[in-house]
Copies of this chain bind each other. A is one copy, B any other.
Amino acid sequence: MLLPASAVADAYARIACHINATPLLSSHTLDHQLGHRIVFKAEGFQKVGAFKARGALNTLLSLKEEGRLPASVCAYSSGNHAQAVAWAAKLLGVKATIFIPKNASAIKIQATRAYGADVVVTENRAAAEEGVKALVKQGVYLIPPYDHDMVIAGQGTAAFEALQGGAEPDAIFAPCGGGGLISGTWLAAQALRPEAQVFACEPLNANDAARSLRSGKIEAYTGTPDTLADGARTPSVSERTFAYLKQISGIYEISEAEMILWTQVLSHLLKVAVEPTSAMAMAGANAWLATQDGPRKVLIVLSGANISPETYAKVWAEDRLAAFF
């Protein structure tokens, strides 16, 4: 069921000339304060502002290689996956229809339209899923946000690129929603740095993956979990991504307070926009580093930089920096 590690290298060869080679960032101040070396893969500078561009494009280019590029694709997303599919489809001249529930931010709907996709705004998630189903029956190709081998291999190219670029981490941390990014990240480590431990980080308030790993079967949410990590509100992982989650070294459950602290600290030190979803990975790394008996080198996948005004306001409602430094 698991892909071979070479799938990520194949994905990278396929997509590299179309995506941004995102920078590796670091902070002397942070390294000095923690006594470790932390390197950040800044996927906020990726096309569409998030790693999601990698998986969507790898899927379409894989289909093209196999001579079965669809004329039309669809997706359901309230987040970065919507823009990623719209962007990748436009690049390949494929029609895209994206279903977005109406509670998604206006700015994400606008951005998805700006990439040339047909956007269907639905009452709720169920209506969006119905819409996707109807299109799939008509032969439209569905690109799912994480439950797809080529999506997983594509997402893994973020860590792959960082490892190729000279990061030599003892451990790699990435956020976990549906599990696509962490699955691909684990594969990338198997390809280029098998001695590195790989850790997932998810919101304590949306800890379905951690609960699933504890119970041994997939646990799911109903409703919308109360977390600022909007990239990790996925109700559950899939059988496919659960198989990868069983391979990794562990999972950290991050409180909202930790998430806010690290969003503030990383925004302040790195001077880039940091999604709370991304800051979770640093919170997990910080917890792990506190258990280590010597200096370690860590790679953090900063998954994206698409932050709604509402999220900005919540993150900065209180000053957490003064107490940190």
B272 touches A107 (CB 8 A): no
B320 touches A271 (CB 8 A): no
Tell me which of A267, A316, A321 has the highest count of chain B C-beta atoms within 10 A of its own C-beta: A316
Cβ of A1 within 8 Å of any chain B Cβ, yes or no, is: no
Residues of B within 8 A of A321 (CB): 106-107, 309
Nearest to A110 among chain B residues (CB) is B325
B312 touches A316 (CB 8 A): yes
Tell me which of B110, B309, B317, B325 contacts A107 (CB under 8 A): B325
Residues of B within 8 A of A111 (CB): 29, 325
Residues of B within 8 A of A315 (CB): 312
B313 touches A29 (CB 8 A): no
Cβ of A44 within 8 Å of any chain B Cβ, yes or no, is: yes
B114 touches A268 (CB 8 A): no
**Known A271-B44, A271-B45, A272-B273: A313·B310 in contact at CB below 8 Å:** no
Query: With the chains together, A271 CA to B302 CA distance in Å?
Result: 12
Q: How large is the interface on A (under 10, 10 to 19, 20 to 34, 35 or more residues)?
A: 20 to 34
Cβ of A130 within 8 Å of any chain B Cβ, yes or no, is: no
Q: Which of A257-294 contact B (CB under 8 A)?
A: 264, 267-268, 271-273
Nearest to A105 among chain B residues (CB) is B322
Residues of B within 8 A of A312 (CB): 267, 312, 315-316
B107 touches A268 (CB 8 A): yes
B325 touches A319 (CB 8 A): no
Cβ of A305 within 8 Å of any chain B Cβ, yes or no, is: yes
Q: Which of A5-46 contact B (CB under 8 A)?
A: 29, 44-45
Nearest to A45 among chain B residues (CB) is B271
**Known A312-B316, A316-B312, A316-B313: A305·B271 in contact at CB below 8 Å:** yes
Tell me which of B106, B273, B318 contacts A267 (CB under 8 A): B273
Nearest to A323 among chain B residues (CB) is B106
Tell me which of B29, B273, B322 contacts A273 (CB under 8 A): B273
A322 touches B267 (CB 8 A): no
Residues of B within 8 A of A105 (CB): 322
Query: With the chains together, A271 CA to B270 CA distance in Å?
Result: 11
Residues of B within 8 A of A320 (CB): 309
Which 3 residue pairs spanning A and B have beta carbons closest together?
Answer: A312-B316, A309-B319, A271-B305
A→B interface (CB under 8 Å): 29, 44-45, 49, 105-107, 110-111, 114, 264, 267-268, 271-273, 305, 307-310, 312-313, 315-322, 325
A29-B114, A106-B322, A313-B317 given; 12 more Cβ-contact pairs under 8 Å? A45-B271, A49-B271, A105-B322, A264-B309, A267-B273, A271-B273, A271-B305, A272-B272, A308-B319, A309-B319, A309-B320, A310-B319
